[in-house]
């Protein structure tokens, strides 16, 4: 019964993850049309290329486990699109340890966190925002960090944020809670998200997954 419930939950996550958010897609295509009408052909090329890369990783031939390099590419494509759409309201920096890039990870775990950083942190700033992403091998783990200099999260909200159902109307609906649960279902309860934040300073989300030398990516791949 426990195995069946776990398989059912993972199947639900797959279905949720596969959904294409219509707001994001519509706004991106609308930006492309606007740039084309204003003869910003370089911007059109950049946006279309980033959108193509975004969907390439999202599809991933149906696999839930991908290379860390592909996950980073997906995050970079999403950030490129949003940076143009938000008219350079923020900058981003990605720092990836070369040894980590060929490791395996559960896919699409960075984008919802970046989305939260933009909509709930950076978007409220008067000055220019900054989002930093890093990935490195630390002991027997792969550790992703997503930090921003945004508004921050109140402590009473922070204490329960991983227990809340997602309510964002902007993103794919997966939310921080579901990312945390997906990681735990795939790798075990000792892995997942850690969030630290300070008002008017920013937020840092740490993702910890195990280093997997076997190449099978954890338990998630065994659930069909």
What's the confidence (pLDDT) of residue 153? Answer: 87
pLDDT at 105: 95
Q: For residue 223, what pLDDT is reported?
A: 37
pLDDT value for 18? 53
Q: Indicate if the pLDDT at residue 17 is higher than 60.
A: no
Q: Cβ(193)–Cβ(206) under 8 Å?
A: yes
Residue 174 pLDDT grade (very low, low, confident, very high; cuts 50, 70, 90): low
The residues, ordered by sequence, that sit 6+ positions from 111 with a Cβ below 8 Å of its Cβ are 74, 75, 78, 171, 172
The verdict on pTM exceeding 0.85 is no
Q: Return the sign of the alpha-carbon dihedral for residues 108, 109, 110, 114.
A: positive
pLDDT band at 94 (very low <50, low <70, confident <90, very high): very high
Q: pLDDT of 118-166, one tens digit each? A: 988 898 888 999 999 999 999 999 999 999 999 888 888 887 787 765 5
Mean of per-residue pLDDT scores for the chain: 84
| Furthest C-alpha separation in the chain | 59
Task: Give 222's pLDDT tier (boundaries 50, 70, 90).
Answer: very low
Tokens coding 203: 């937020």
For the segment 71-89, the average pLDDT, to the nearest whole number, is 94
């Amino acid at each position: 019964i426990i195995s069946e419930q776990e398989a059912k939950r993972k199947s639900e996550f797959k279905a949720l993850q596969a959904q294409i958010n219509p707001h994001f897609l519509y706004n991106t295509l609308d930006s492309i049309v606007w740039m084309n009408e204003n003869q910003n052909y370089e911007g059109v090329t950049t946006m279309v290329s980033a959108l193509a890369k975004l969907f390439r990783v999202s599809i991933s031939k149906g696999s839930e486990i991908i290379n860390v390099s592909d996950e980073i590419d997906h995050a970079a494509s999403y950030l490129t699109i949003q940076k143009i759409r938000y008219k350079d309201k923020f900058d981003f920096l990605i720092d990836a340890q070369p040894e980590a890039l060929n490791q395996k990870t559960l896919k699409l775990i960075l984008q919802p966190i970046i989305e939260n950083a933009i909509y709930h942190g950076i978007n409220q700033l008067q000055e220019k925002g900054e989002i930093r992403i890093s990935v490195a091998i630390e002991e027997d783990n792969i550790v992703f960090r997503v930090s921003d200099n945004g508004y921050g999260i109140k402590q009473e909200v922070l204490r329960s944020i991983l227990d809340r159902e997602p309510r964002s109307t902007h993103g794919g609906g997966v939310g921080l809670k579901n990312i945390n649960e997906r990681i735990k279902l795939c790798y075990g309860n000792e892995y997942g998200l850690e969030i630290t934040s300070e008002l008017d300073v920013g937020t840092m989300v740490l993702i910890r997954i195990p280093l997997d030398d076997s190449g099978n990516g954890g338990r998630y791949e065994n659930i069909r």
